[in-house]
């Protein structure tokens, strides 16, 4: 009978030890080269490392080399946001362009054509957060809007 209370006391610690989420750093992850000069690391999402997988939200760290840009695309369902960590550049949403720098944040609604570009001479790093989690089925590649760089 004395063993039962000990087991009950140990169960929360055992469950907690199994439910501890991993602390991730991009140095531990495989880089994904989406295009020349465009690299990303998936921290959470549908294909993230075990313990960080989610269908609800994805978080990817992007690095754009100087003068490089993400593809022109839009999400059918996913809402996406960018949080700029370093560098300077511009984000295009439909045919509107806005400057970005460290600390800049933008929320992009589904169906909004978008691209983000690093300025010449300096890389741009940013987090992209998508909800529900990004999937290739939701991401639609498209042409640049009128007046936007190709």
Would residue 65 be called left, alpha or beta, if left means φ above 0 and alpha means ψ between -120 and 50 degrees? beta
Residue 148 belongs to some domain of the structure: no
* The pLDDT value given to residue 54: 95
Total domains present in the chain:
1
Hey, which residues does 103 pair with through a beta bridge? Answer: none
The overall average pLDDT reported for the chain is 90
Per-residue pLDDT band at 30 (split at 50, 70, 90): very high
CATH of residue 37's domain is 2.60.120.10
Containing domain of residue 48, as a range? 24-141
The phi and psi torsions of 145 (rounded to 5 degrees) equal -65, 160
Residue 128 lies in a domain: yes
The pTM of the full predicted model, rounded to 2 decimals, is 0.85
The pLDDT value given to residue 15: 46
Nearest-angstrom CA–CA distance, 19 and 1: 29
Q: Give the closest residue to 129 by CA, choosing from 99, 111, 106, 112.
A: 106
Evaluated on CA atoms 104, 109, 110, 111, the torsion sign reads negative
- Residue 132 falls within a domain, yes or no? yes
Q: For residue 8, is it within any domain?
A: no
pLDDT in tens, 107-144: 999 999 999 999 999 999 999 999 999 999 999 999 99
| 75 located within any domain | yes
């Amino acid at each position: 009978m004395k063993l039962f209370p000990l087991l009950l006391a140990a169960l929360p610690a055992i469950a907690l030890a199994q439910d501890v989420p991993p602390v991730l750093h991009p140095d531990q992850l495989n880089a994904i080269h989406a295009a020349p000069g465009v690299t990303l690391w998936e921290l959470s999402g549908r294909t993230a490392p075990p313990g960080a997988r989610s269908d609800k939200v994805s978080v990817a760290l992007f690095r754009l080399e100087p003068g490089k840009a993400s593809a022109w695309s839009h999400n059918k369902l996913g809402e996406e946001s960018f949080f700029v960590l370093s560098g300077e550049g511009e984000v295009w949403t439909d045919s509107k362009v806005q400057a970005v720098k460290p600390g800049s944040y933008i929320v992009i609604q589904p169906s909004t054509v978008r691209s983000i570009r690093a300025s010449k001479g300096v890389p741009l790093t940013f987090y992209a957060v998508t909800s529900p989690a990004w999937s290739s089925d939701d991401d639609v590649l498209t042409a640049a809007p009128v007046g936007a760089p190709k």
